[in-house]
Amino acid sequence: MQRCAALARHSELPGGLTRVFLSPEGRAAGELVLGWMREAGMQAQLDAIGNAVGRYEGERPALPCLMLGSHLDTVRDAGRYDGMLGVVSAIECVHALNSRGKRLPFAIEVVGFGDEEGVRFGTTLLGSRAIAGTLDAKVLDTRDASGKSIAEAMREFGLNPERLSRVKRKRSDVLAYIELHIEQGPVLEAEGLPVGVVTAINGFSRLRVTLRGDAGHAGTVPMGLRRDALAAAAECVLAVEKTAREHPELVGTVGRIEARPGAINVIPGEVQFTVDIRAPQDSLREQAVAEVRRKIGEIAAPRKIEAAIESLQDLGSSACAPWLMQQLVRAVEAQGLRVHRLPSGAGHDGMAIKAIADIAMLFVRCKGGVSHNPAESISEGDAGTGFRTLLSFIENFNAIPA
Ligand code: GLV
Ligand code: MN
Ligand code: MN
């Protein structure tokens, strides 16, 4: 809990928590984590995309690893546990093993991923996709709101984009990936349980929509002669909401919108907004994306607004591996707890790591299901139960699928 508080002090905004990929705050958080990894007996450094990576050797050097981790970046005005709890819990597990001088028949690697939220560049899971080898070098041309590309931001941070491919791990190096994360929803609280075993992570699609009309004088242009991009965008936002409401398992969000030129007395000539659509079934999500695209076209046409829709990212839903879930279930039972299985509505780094290793996740109860909000909170007792469950899983981990 103290370490989550220490990490929360590295923020773009004083008095809140905002820490995006490849920022000075991101570097400070990474350095702090590397120090903790070393204290816990690991060799640790930033990799070529800016992930903080620590390695605890097994009984012999160079054994394949059990990979643990979560992310160190945050959303804007974030809580302090989303991501960070998984990183510090994993380090604490290694610390516990190291202080007993215990080595296992596999290595452990702990990764603090540099980008899971995708707040800065819109496209997400940059750190974990680099490790999985699925981050196309072309993605490094993606620009942030100030026009800086990922490659430029990497150079400024002191990283060499040409070395991206060195981050990639082979399937034979990674036995499995396990992530502890706060639930970010209300289910475990309702069940009266401190931890739960994740069954699958819902897929997501991210779009960026640009609407172009005509900027003009707010006092002189009659309503019938306007091409107001923001009025059109307002209809589009409602269309996203309506589409998502058509199915109980769909969710749709417009989380960011910007109107230009942005003055009280100017008709907005151009608007850009993001769309985030998620569902447990890929076909349901794909249908919803197609419907949103069609509706935006139908809204724009009669208003004589040009609409450009860019797909930022699509990721299918990711099932957790039954053999790993089974071992997590045993670790939960070893704490004397009833086992509850639940899906994840939020995205996680495992979605990317799945390309090279089987994945599983342990959720820790969070207060009121509140997350992506500074009020995000967990109890010390639950953090302890999460840690003990993860440690029990690691100590009994059998790399051979049952
Ligand atoms: C990350 O928290 C996401 O699900 O967008
Ligand atoms: Mn998050
Ligand atoms: Mn997260």
Cβ(127) to ligand 1 under 6 A? no
Cβ(34) to ligand 1 under 6 A? no
Reported pTM: 0.92
C-alpha distances (whole Å) from 152 to each of 50, 142, 155, 271, 398 are 13, 10, 5, 26, 42
Give pLDDT tens digits for 336-392.
999 999 999 999 999 999 999 999 999 999 999 999 999 999 999 999 999 999 999
Give pLDDT tens digits for 298-312.
999 999 999 999 999
- For the chain, the residue count is 402
Per-residue pLDDT at 3: 98
State the closest ligand 1 atom to the C-alpha of 117, by its place in the atom list counted from 1: 1
Is beta strand 174-182 parallel, antiparallel or unpaired with respect to 195-201?
unpaired
Across residues 253-278, what is the average pLDDT? 98
Q: Across the strands, what pairs with 361?
A: 179
Residue to mutate, 115, 116, 202, 285, ligand 1, most ligand atoms under 8 Å from C-beta = 116
Residue 402 has pLDDT above 80, yes or no: no
Nearest to 111 by CA among 44, 48, 58: 44
Backbone φ and ψ for 34, nearest 5 degrees, come out as -60, -40
C-alpha 347 to ligand 2 mean position (Å):
7
Cβ(117) to ligand 1 under 6 A? yes
Please tell me the distance from the alpha carbon of residue 319 to that of residue 116, in angstroms, as a whole number: 18
Please tell me the distance from the alpha carbon of residue 279 to that of residue 289, in angstroms, as a whole number: 11
Q: Whose CA is nearest to atom 3 of ligand 1?
A: 347
Per-residue pLDDT at 127: 98
Query: How many Cβ atoms sit within 10 Å of the Cβ of residue 245?
Result: 11
Nearest to 196 by CA among 183, 179, 177, 178: 183
Per-residue pLDDT at 400: 85
Give pLDDT tens digits for 134-171.
999 999 999 999 999 999 999 999 999 999 999 999 99
Structure tokens at 93: 């597990």
Backbone φ and ψ for 36, nearest 5 degrees, come out as -65, -40
Please tell me the distance from the alpha carbon of residue 299 to that of residue 55, in angstroms, as a whole number: 53
